Structure 1
Amino acid sequence: MDRSMKQPALVYVDDDFSPDGLYSFQRNHFASAKAMGWARVTLVQDSHPHPGRPEALSDETVTIRGTGVDTIISAVKALQTRYDVRLVLTYPGQCRPGSTLHDDLAAACAKLDLPQRDPKSLQCVNDKSLMRARLADRNIPSARYATVFDTGGLQQAAKDVGFPLILKPAAGTGSVLIRRCDTMEELSEHYALFCRKFAETPLTADFAGGGRIALIEECLIGIELTIECMVRGDTPHALLVNEKLHVSYEQSTVLEHLLITPPTSLSASDVSTVKRYAEDVLRAVGLRDTMVHLELFLTADGPRAVEVNPRVGGFDVPTQFRELLGIDPFETGMALMRGDVDEDTCAGILSRAEQLNDAYAMFVLYPPAPGFVTGLTGLQEAAQQEGVLHHTTHLSDDYFDISLSERFVAKFWTRVKDADHAWALYTQTCEMVRVDMATGQPRQIAGVA
């Protein structure tokens, strides 16, 4: 069949064997692919313990044995007899331990003459210790840090970094097993918890390709920000800056509650400074043709990177892109990979990003205690408040425990006058909405919605 007569297709290689799965990346890209008229095909390993999940998201699934280069090439070539395969993607975060999927997929796509991500740059940003080492090599300031492989290295790491400090997985996701420690006693206690919980926590064990490695880093003091970026070719562009107005440190996680854009605590000069810094960071780590979610602090000594994620941010960041910049960030990300974002399109996005004046806030609600969430009382009344543009719920049958992972039950996207208005709207919503809970033992550890 002539290629012009075939339906375009997005192919996704599913390497996620965790109990809950990080399927928002696939789900969001498949939704955008469907809107563009593309078929959605998933390559599912024959050993996949949860094949029903990718089946529910796909127009078609193809069973494969392993994810080696030849296996991927063979499966995609078979699909090319029926589809015009435009892209082959997988989750760009950490692979399963022992997996070489990023390397294998890049090699397969190169032989298939399809766009690919650079596995070395993915490894650099997915391992926070490698990312910090790369920044140090390029003389880009970042937080002091040390890596810890066992209890024997704990004392020296604490001495090198200094208290207060943050202990977290060197590679992980969902703000899992993160804790601020102010004393050696707290650090020892949390490291022991980190070691006990690591293997049974899917968002670390199943997405930590390097194994059980802890990162100890300086506890940065300053204004905490997220920056949503676009990299066209090898040129990065910082687009949206969000200020975190409310963040809480729980037993073994960090929860973000309330963010506002544009950042109200920053001057125009500050915004320019953090954007330039973010672009320097992205040049250093080598990401190309992708959307990026970058987190940093603006300290008294200047910006300091916390993490770089080769994907669109969570919460209502996709809504920000759609409503403030007029683009679907997932469609744009795929267009970047294919080289389909021309200079005029890029210039238009940058122009709209520079002209943002009105303030918008996003916030989320968490369960008050571990347990099963049975419903939300008062949600509709809260959604009718002036300034609320829309809301979504994130309920499931899973066990919620915010002491271990960042798992919210509802999120709100709002238009506000300023930070005080954002705080008032968030506080009022927390008072209006009751999270109804049921007690019981967890059936499984919940992941990130």
Structure 2
Amino acid sequence: MAKRALILVEGHRNIGLGYVEAARSLGLHPITLSADPARYDYLAAESIETIRVDTDNLDALIHECSRLAGTYDIAGITGFAGDDESIYATVGRLCRHFDLPGPNPQSVERCCDKFIQRQLLAAAGVPMPAYRLAANASEVEGSAAEIGLPVILKPAVGSGSIGVRLCSTIDEVAEHTTYLFSEKHIWRSSPRILVEEFVQGPHYIAHIMGNEVFGIEATNFDRLPHFVFYTGIFPAPLADEEHKRIADVSLSCLQPLGLGWGPTCIELRWAKLGPVVIEVNPRLGGGPRPIQLAYGVDLVTEHIKLVVGDEGDLRKRHSHIAAWRTLLPDRDGTLDWIRGDDQAAAVSGVAEVKLYVEPKTPIVRKGDYRDCLGYVIAVSPSLAETEIALQRAVDSIDWSITPFRQNLI
């Protein structure tokens, strides 16, 4: 009998290995299709079957999966958005072609275009920031004036906070607009900028599986004007009424966008009048590990079960408090050394320590998820104990960055 295989389109530095391990634990053989397998170090380290293919080319992917079907029983297909969420729409089309469970590709595309997403949610009465779409610098400045400063400028299509910036003055609006419309920013669609009201208040992420809010996470960003995730707590310390209001607003996003199959993560801020939806992502959030530590449920495994048509189990095994912190550089330059990860991992209550970089790596901050040098996760029965363990671990890790030499003329 042919071995059951799980096809993974592209990889993911945070959760890619988790999908491989979960697939194997379910008796599946993971196969990764990638345009550049070298981007994901775990593929070679874990001897994972990997095939180089143009993952932007649906026909090429269909051809490769059809070829694999001659050797394997393809049980399911899924993949990762990374910095290009269109990949997940491609996954949906592959699933449709091979009659396998998967996301609705049209729904994914509606979410990927943040302007269309905003329009559909606004029509359904979902609370959200004021917004305008702009195709040139004049429209951007006019939109910023209409909404009122400060505003957030972001590509209409994009992910990972790439190209997203808070602009507090008209000069900053002009500067970032020039950057986005220049060759320095890589557009994955026609160049259009979404200009949004800056909603202030605590930031939360609702993690949804199917039509159920599985849990809500409290998160925070590093220093503005960029939006790089810095720390998070799961589950968020919320009163029952606050939890219900966030959950209700989050669930109200699904039907207008045609979602409700598989994982969704929704970013919100708690403003003066309550929760406001910042963004809907039709995929699993990039950090399911704290959820697993807190509740004993691995959302990666549960997602794979859906993908291969098996029955899931979202029953919570326990209730702990998990917290995480990303390690972020404060300057550009060459990383001389980074150390202390072993000491951090030895701190009681610390569940995971991960470093992404090696000494002598050039560090060039981009103001998005790619700035992260690594992360630490801690867990315990109480928030106070978890936060103490997390801080001790983070304090154990240190690094040195020598600024790049400036060319003197």
Per the shorter chain, which TM-score range? 0.7 to 0.9
Give the structure 2 partner of residue 312 of structure 1.
Answer: 284
Which runs of 5 or more residues in structure 1 are unaligned?
15-20, 443-449
Supply the AA of the counterpart residue of 1:437: I
CA distance in 2, matches of 1:284, 1:391: 39
Q: Is the 8 A contact 1:367 1:373 kept in 2?
A: no
Per the TM alignment, residue 377 of structure 1 is displaced from its structure 2 partner at its CA by 3.5
CA distance in 2, matches of 1:261, 1:103: 28
- Residues 142-170 of structure 1: CA distance to partner in whole angstroms, max 9, x if unpaired? 11111222112022211332222111222
Alpha carbons of structure 1 residues 424 and 214: separation in structure 2 relative to 1, 3 Å:
farther
CA distance in 1, matches of 2:388, 2:206: 24
The one of 218, 227, 242 aligned to 2:217 = 242
Alpha carbons of structure 1 residues 137 and 321: separation in structure 2 relative to 1, 3 Å:
same
SS at 1:242 equivalent: strand
The two structures, once aligned, show a CA RMSD in angstroms of 3.2
How many residues of Structure 1 are paired with residues of Structure 2 in the alignment?
401
The one of 115, 138, 153 aligned to 1:152 = 138
SS at 1:364 equivalent: strand
Give the structure 1 partner of residue 351 of structure 2.
Answer: 389
Residue 372 of structure 1 pairs with residue 361 of structure 2: no
SS at 1:172 equivalent: coil
Give the structure 2 partner of residue 359 of structure 1.
Answer: 321
The one of 77, 80, 101 aligned to 1:88 = 77
CA distance in 1, matches of 2:25, 2:208: 23
Give the structure 2 partner of residue 128 of structure 1.
Answer: 114
Give the structure 1 partner of residue 295 of structure 2.
Answer: 325
Give the structure 1 partner of residue 253 of structure 2.
Answer: 281
Give the structure 1 partner of residue 269 of structure 2.
Answer: 297
CA distance in 1, matches of 2:89, 2:235: 38
Q: How does 1:44-59 map to 2 (within 5 A)?
A: 48=35, 50=36, 52-53=38-39, 56=44, 59=48
Alpha carbons of structure 1 residues 8 and 430: separation in structure 2 relative to 1, 3 Å:
closer
CA distance in 1, matches of 2:64, 2:381: 53
Alpha carbons of structure 1 residues 128 and 111: separation in structure 2 relative to 1, 3 Å:
closer
Q: Provide TM-score, normalisation by structure 2.
A: 0.85
- Residues 68-123 of structure 1: CA distance to partner in whole angstroms, max 9, x if unpaired? 55544443232222111012234346759xx8x66665455334222232111111
Supply the AA of the counterpart residue of 1:125: C
Supply the AA of the counterpart residue of 2:28: W
Q: Is the 8 A contact 1:230 1:238 kept in 2?
A: yes
Per the TM alignment, residue 186 of structure 1 is displaced from its structure 2 partner at its CA by 2.0
CA distance in 2, matches of 1:278, 1:336: 21
SS at 2:133 equivalent: strand
Supply the AA of the counterpart residue of 1:41: I
Residue 212 of structure 1 pairs with residue 191 of structure 2: yes
Per the TM alignment, residue 138 of structure 1 is displaced from its structure 2 partner at its CA by 1.0
Identity among equivalent pairs (%)? 22
Q: Is the 8 A contact 1:393 1:409 kept in 2?
A: yes
Q: Provide TM-score, normalisation by structure 1.
A: 0.78
Q: Is the 8 A contact 1:250 1:403 kept in 2?
A: no
CA distance in 2, matches of 1:261, 1:387: 15
Residues 79-88 or 398-407, more deviating: 398-407
CA distance in 1, matches of 2:58, 2:162: 32
Supply the AA of the counterpart residue of 2:133: T
Give the structure 1 partner of residue 227 of structure 2.
Answer: 254
Which runs of 5 or more residues in structure 2 are unaligned?
none
Give the structure 2 partner of residue 182 of structure 1.
Answer: 168
Supply the AA of the counterpart residue of 1:237: E
Q: Is the 8 A contact 1:361 1:416 kept in 2?
A: no
SS at 2:228 equivalent: strand
SS at 1:188 equivalent: helix
